[in-house]
Amino acid sequence: MNDERKARVLRAIVEDYVSTNEPVGSKALVDRHRLGVSSATIRNDMAELEREGLIAQPHTSAGRIPTDKGYRRFVDWLDDVRPLSNAERRAIARIIEHPVDIDDMLDRTVRLLAQLTHQVAVVQYPVATRARVRHVEFVSLGPARLLVVLISDTGQVEQRIVDLGRTLDKEETARLRDTFNSALDRVRLDAVAEATSGVEVPTALRAPAQAIAQVLVDLAKSNRQERLLMAGTANLARSGVEFGSQIGPLLEAFEEQVVLLKLLTSMASDTDRVSVSIGRENPHESFSTTSVVSAHYGGESAAARLAVLGPTRMDYPTTIAAVRAVAKYVSVILSERG
């Protein structure tokens, strides 16, 4: 059996099984694909692929289905990925361009990925290790209550209400706002505590200033926490039969963001390629029947990953193309906003 035909037969089995969810037989391969050989030759080729652990026979007299190893070989052999159509690219640009803020953009992004791939989509908030304070704003909410807003240069917005103990007039509020904006101008989020500790204000404003400073420190920490957005869990439920008894633990794992974050960070960090983790290649047992297609997005000041999760019986070329394109668009938008 030559390697070129081996690749063609395996690719045909993967494509047919992904399309039909039915074991693939030699006659079906001959009828649907121009392999240039007889059914008997195809049967011999399939027997060789089975000995190599790339395909398996689910039960006697059935056709063959790809194994995790077979899917891995198929993905590694992919020398071309189906490009998205012009209509799909226009849809991506239309949906995620001109976001209100980073929360709005990531919400649009995760929903778009789920729609494009018909799988579960996950987007990690940018890990703003180098993010800096862009602006601080205060909004009076009534007697002694102030809304403190912290905006980072990655576009992320954090806000919290603080009880000041006494009511501030407009001039006092404006003075505190200007003081904190001056002290925190372009300060890194991990240095907010140090920068606010040295703020000098009149004696009458020291107590409110201390309360505001503590809130700003907390908001800076919140801004740097690793968080996830998810969409498309209904797609997972529709594929439940493929996960079998693993559907319960998988759904539980989705609820634990720490598990998902570890899964994403365990994948390749190469910023120029899409990473694919198949079945038992995933480190967490709950994802042993799942494939994860992930890509890096963002720049130096704020980087993260977005991913699509679904059954190993996945349309890999289409999913890889969608993940790659969306990651690219989001990165461009982030760079423009920076």
User: Which CA distances in Å does 52 have to 23, 39, 48, 67, 69?
Assistant: 18, 20, 6, 10, 9
User: In the chain, what is the straight-line distance between the N-terminal and C-terminal CA atoms, in Å?
Assistant: 55
Q: Does one domain contain both 295 and 230? A: yes
Q: Which residue has the higher pLDDT, 289 or 163?
A: 163
Amino acid, single-letter form, for residue 301:
S
Q: Does one domain contain both 166 and 246? A: no
Element (H, E) at 231: strand 228-231
Q: Does one domain contain both 304 and 261? A: yes
- Segment 68-71 long-range contacts (CB within 8 Å, at least 24 positions apart): 68/278, 68/279, 68/280, 68/281, 68/312, 70/10, 70/13, 70/14, 71/14, 71/278, 71/279, 71/291, 71/312, 71/316
Phi and psi (nearest 5°) for 127?
A: -85, 100
Question: How many domains, the chain?
Answer: 3
- Among 35, 55, 77, identify where a domain stops: 77
Residue pLDDT, tens place only, 8-28 = 899 999 999 999 989 999 888
In degrees to the nearest 10, what's the CA dihedral of 34, 39, 44, 49?
50
The confidence score (pLDDT) of residue 284 equals 82
Phi and psi (nearest 5°) for 303?
A: -125, 150
Residue pLDDT, tens place only, 175-206 = 999 999 999 999 988 899 999 998 999 999 99
**Which residues constitute the domain of residue 39?**
3-77
Q: Does one domain contain both 258 and 291? A: yes
Q: What is the CATH number of the domain that holds 44?
A: 1.10.10.10
Q: Does one domain contain both 206 and 235? A: no
Residue pLDDT, tens place only, 131-155 = 789 999 999 998 899 999 999 887 7
Q: Does one domain contain both 114 and 236? A: yes
Q: Does one domain contain both 70 and 106? A: no
The DSSP line for 68-83 is HHHHHHHHHH----PP
